[in-house]
Amino acid sequence: MWKWIIGLTFVSFVFLDAQGAHASATKNFFAAQKALDRGEVERALPMLKKAAKELSHWGIVHLELAKALMRADATSAEIAASLNKAMKLIPNNPRVYELAGKHWLEQGREQKALANFARAIKMGLPSPTPCLQATKLWLARGEVDKPLACLKTLYRKGQKKDVVDVWLARCYTKKGDIRTAATHWYRALPKHQKSVDVLQQALLFYITHIKAQHWRVRKDWKKQIKELRAQLLLIAPPKKKNTKSAPKPLSLAQTSSFFVWFLRDVFPWKLPRWQSGAELLAKGFKVLQQGEATRAMGLFRRAERYLPRWGIVQLGMAKAMQMNGMDTKDIAGAIKRAIVLDPKSPYVHEFAGLFWQGQGKTGRALFHYQKALVGKHPSANACLFATRLWMARGEGRKGLRCLRLLLARGERTSSVALLLARVSAQHALLREAGEYWSQAVPYYKNAVPVLREALMFFAKFKSQQPQRVKVKWNQTIRVIQARLRKLVPNEPDRKLRPLLPSGEGRPLRRRS
């Protein structure tokens, strides 16, 4: 009998323990949701990760974790893993596919993004975002009929009517249904009186199709054209030319550009090869920024025929290859060719450093970062990434020069000040570290780990400073403590006491 009693007691204890863990994880999850809604990503992220371990069968937890990871600029693999888990657990939730579409769109994977948006639309529209984003992608591909159904649904529901009218007008214009397009333009224009793009598109629509209309319709359209032109003049007036000053002689660049224009328009077959290649190169980078890596790859290859000795062409090809997810050997080959052709370009070495750092080869990455930092104008990205790698090796002092230059130029002030503070503290440059921490703290008001790190530094090294510096540091300590009380109100004070040296300073107490 006593064996049964012991067994039942053990089972009940295990059950109660599991229930308690489940309850605490649920509480953490809801607290993390509230923090995420307030924009406190750094506070919400660890709570969501803990909740995801305890509540691994809850798809909504993985969905919220993916949201937090996206806001925290986490790696694509981490976000994709959370999204995949959410899709498996809650496959009928359209919000999962909406978030997945946003993620893949940010990564430049338009096809994946479109597939996820389309799936969210089929399940029902929790928000207009998937429909509008998918409409942009469909119209870019020339698929005019696909977005009409969801746009009409949004219009019937009254969700974002002003934006939906514009997209319906664009769709019907491409489709050739001019009457319906004109109706939607007429409805959309009063709500977009300050949008230059919309007004210009509407003006172009009316001017293009006015001749094919009935004479009565023409009258209305002419009035509309006059109103649109007047509105555009109010919003974006043309720049006035200074006629008083004497005309300046044409510079060499202006004369050469005129010569190129003359060749292009009058004798197009005599256009210089470098000019054609440069135009293709510029177009390739523009397309690459829009996320169309495959199209950019073709443009770079065409530019390579005209500019076989330009390293920047190979750099563009390497970037397009990486965005397309091609083999690392091909990307490395393109980077090598770019370095051979343009060995002093900081852009080439910066990209090479980022590539090799992503491959886990920090030695190679540091070599290229150092090449990018040569000169009076170091690359900001190369400086920040190289300094972090040097700090991991205990050689953070090497990054002080470029960081100070960036701070003087006002580039990436928040990140630069934080790194300068950490590097100076690592190499016992305490006064400088204190100054840099004072500069960095205002930029990280909501970052609890950074505030704690700063508080630990000031409290630890305060006793080694002269009295004047102590007074300033005490003020900074009070500011940080007050901020931490606001950010973490439920945390007991005893957790913050070890940050102060023993025997110094009063214990932290909540103000009544």
Joined tokens for residue 197: 């793009």
Amino acid at 329: K
Residue 123 has pLDDT above 50, yes or no: yes
Q: Summarize pLDDT for 331-374 with one digit per residue, the tens.
A: 888 888 888 888 888 888 888 888 888 888 888 888 888 888 87
- Residue 398's pLDDT is what? 86
Joined tokens for residue 384: 């920040």
Number of H helices, E strands in the chain: 25, 0
Residue whose C-alpha is closest to residue 505's, from 469, 441, 460, 449: 460
- Average pLDDT over the chain, rounded to an integer: 77
CA distance between the termini of the chain: 56
Task: Name the residue with higher pLDDT: 56 or 285.
Answer: 285
Residue 167 has pLDDT above 80, yes or no: yes
Band (pLDDT 50/70/90 cuts) for residue 22 is low
Q: What is the mean pLDDT of residues 90-116?
A: 84
- Residue 313's pLDDT is what? 87
Residue whose C-alpha is closest to residue 331's, from 340, 341, 321: 321
- Residue 26's pLDDT is what? 75
Band (pLDDT 50/70/90 cuts) for residue 3 is low
- Residue 237's pLDDT is what? 66
Residue 407 has pLDDT above 60, yes or no: yes
- Residue 14's pLDDT is what? 38
Helix or strand holding residue 158 (H, E): none
Task: Name the residue with higher pLDDT: 21 or 216.
Answer: 216
**Least confident segment among 115-124, 241-250, 344-353:** 241-250
Q: What is the mean pLDDT of residues 152-165?
A: 83
- Residue 376's pLDDT is what? 61
Band (pLDDT 50/70/90 cuts) for residue 272 is low
- Residue 246's pLDDT is what? 43
Ordered alpha helix ranges (H), 72-128: 76-89, 94-106, 110-123
Band (pLDDT 50/70/90 cuts) for residue 502 is very low
CB 399 within 8 A of CB 386: yes
Domain boundaries, the chain: 160-236, 449-512
Amino acid at 184: H
In the chain, the percentage of residues whose pLDDT exceeds 90 is 0
Residue 225 has pLDDT above 70, yes or no: yes
**CATH top-level class of 160-236:** mainly alpha
- Residue 248's pLDDT is what? 46
CB 155 within 8 A of CB 187: no
